[in-house]
């Protein structure tokens, strides 16, 4: 890393700003600035950076701050997690609330809407919502032993259509099927071989790559990112796809999956 991360978007200064009321509730993310590289760190290490609703609200406000300041202040975003994980997934306390799913969707699309590249720096588990954040990024750097996957089938849940399409686009249709239908996980090294992880390395390597990108033409990058985000327009949501997702979330299996996870036992799914 070229310099110690400091200054820039000071999370404490955001707390004092009425434009960002959600950040005053809980500090679930940390912001650091290294030149033109903004590092967003999921900062709930005691919960392995599990994504709760407050985390989503904080991330939405951070995205707004970056949009407002634009490439003049932030030229690259690096998204990472405080050790020992990138993110172990959604915090299962409260995920059943409809607003959680709405705000998660906004966060995922929000990273795509930023006019600057987003690099996910992955070290440790990136599961469930953590993996969704990983595929929401434009570029990915991971340690070889990092583990990435969406074990929704072990919880009785169905992810949104955006996530299914994004997984297939960023990792491959084959990897997406294995993750979603068989709850398979992949290491950073495996995904690097398959092309889903662009470089093997650490957070420092991701920030260094960010500095390389900072030297490139920002308007060119913004234009290319916009074109890439619209290269495959999102198709209209098929009613029965959303119906299947809603049915899974409202099922007894979903309750059993969350309960079994919290009780640290194997679930007993019945298909009801």
Judge contact between 39 and 31, C-beta under 8 A.
Answer: yes
The residue segments making up the domain with residue 101 are 11-202+218-236
Residue 136 lies in a domain: yes
Confidence of residue 241 (pLDDT cuts 50, 70, 90): confident
The string of pLDDT tens digits covering residues 151-195 is 999 999 999 999 999 999 999 999 999 999 999 999 999 999 999
Helix, coil or strand: residue 128: coil
Q: Is the pLDDT score of 15 beyond 60?
A: no
pLDDT for 23: 44
Tens digit of each residue's pLDDT (9 = 90 or more) over 76-110: 999 999 999 999 999 987 666 678 899 999 999 99
Q: Is residue 18 part of a domain?
A: yes
Task: Say what the pLDDT of residue 96 is.
Answer: 63
Asked if residue 6 has pLDDT above 50, the reply is no
Query: Which has the closest alpha carbon to 147: 107, 197, 181, 109?
Result: 197
Whether residue 245 has pLDDT greater than 90: no
Q: How far is CA 27 from the centre of its chain?
A: 17
Asked whether the predicted pLDDT for residue 123 surpasses 80, the reply is yes
Residue 198 lies in a domain: yes
Distance CA 223, CA 88 (A): 33
Average pLDDT of the segment spanning 203-226: 97
Residue 154 contacts by C-beta under 8 Å, 6 or more apart in sequence? 183, 257, 261, 267
> Per the domain annotation, does 210 fall within a domain?
no
Q: How many helices (H) and strands (E) does the chain have?
A: 11, 9
Average pLDDT for residues 203-216, to the nearest whole number? 98
Site of tokens 């509730």: 25
Q: Is residue 267 part of a domain?
A: no
**1, two tokens:** 């890393």
Cβ 68 vs Cβ 107: under 8 Å: no
User: What pLDDT shows up at residue 22?
Assistant: 43
> How would you classify the pairing of strands 125-127 and 147-149?
parallel
Is the pLDDT at 19 greater than 50, yes or no? Answer: no
Give mean pLDDT, residues 46-56.
Answer: 96
Cβ atoms of 141 and 200 closer than 8 Å: yes
Model confidence pTM above 0.85? yes
Provide the pLDDT for residue 38: 95
Three-class DSSP category at 194: helix
Number of domains in the chain: 1
Q: Is the pLDDT of residue 238 over 80?
A: no
Q: What is the CATH number of the domain that holds 176?
A: 3.90.226.10
- The better pLDDT of the pair 212, 231 is held by 212
The answer to whether residue 105 is domain-embedded is: yes
> Which is more confident, 237 or 173?
173
In a domain, 2, yes or no: no
pLDDT at 42 over 90: yes
Q: Is residue 184 part of a domain?
A: yes
Three-state secondary-structure class, residue 127: strand
């Amino acid at each position: 890393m070229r310099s110690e991360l400091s200054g820039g978007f000071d999370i404490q200064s955001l707390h004092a700003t009425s434009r960002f009321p959600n950040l005053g509730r809980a500090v679930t993310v940390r912001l650091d600035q290294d030149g033109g590289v903004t590092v967003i760190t999921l900062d709930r290490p005691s919960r392995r950076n599990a994504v709760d609703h407050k985390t989503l609200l904080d991330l939405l406000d951070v995205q707004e701050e970056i949009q407002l300041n634009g490439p003049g202040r932030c030229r690259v975003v690096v998204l990472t997690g405080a050790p020992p994980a990138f993110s172990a997934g959604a915090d299962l306390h409260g995920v059943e609330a409809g607003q959680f799913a709405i705000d998660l969707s906004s966060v995922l699309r929000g990273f795509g809407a930023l006019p600057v590249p987003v690099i996910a720096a992955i070290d440790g588990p990136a599961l469930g919502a953590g993996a969704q954040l990983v595929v929401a990024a434009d570029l990915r750097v991971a340690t070889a032993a990092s583990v990435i996957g969406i074990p929704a089938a072990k919880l009785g849940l169905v992810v949104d259509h955006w996530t299914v399409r994004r997984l297939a686009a960023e990792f491959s249709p084959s990897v997406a099927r294995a993750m979603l239908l068989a709850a398979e996980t992949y290491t950073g090294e495996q995904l690097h071989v398959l092309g889903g992880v662009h470089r093997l390395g650490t957070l420092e390597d991701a920030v260094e790559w960010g500095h390389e990108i900072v030297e490139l033409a920002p308007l060119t990058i913004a234009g290319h990112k916009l074109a890439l985000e619209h290269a495959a327009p999102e198709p209209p949501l098929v009613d029965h796809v959303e119906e299947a997702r809603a049915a899974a979330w409202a099922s007894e299996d979903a309750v059993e999956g969350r309960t079994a996870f919290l009780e640290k036992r194997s679930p007993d799914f019945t298909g009801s």
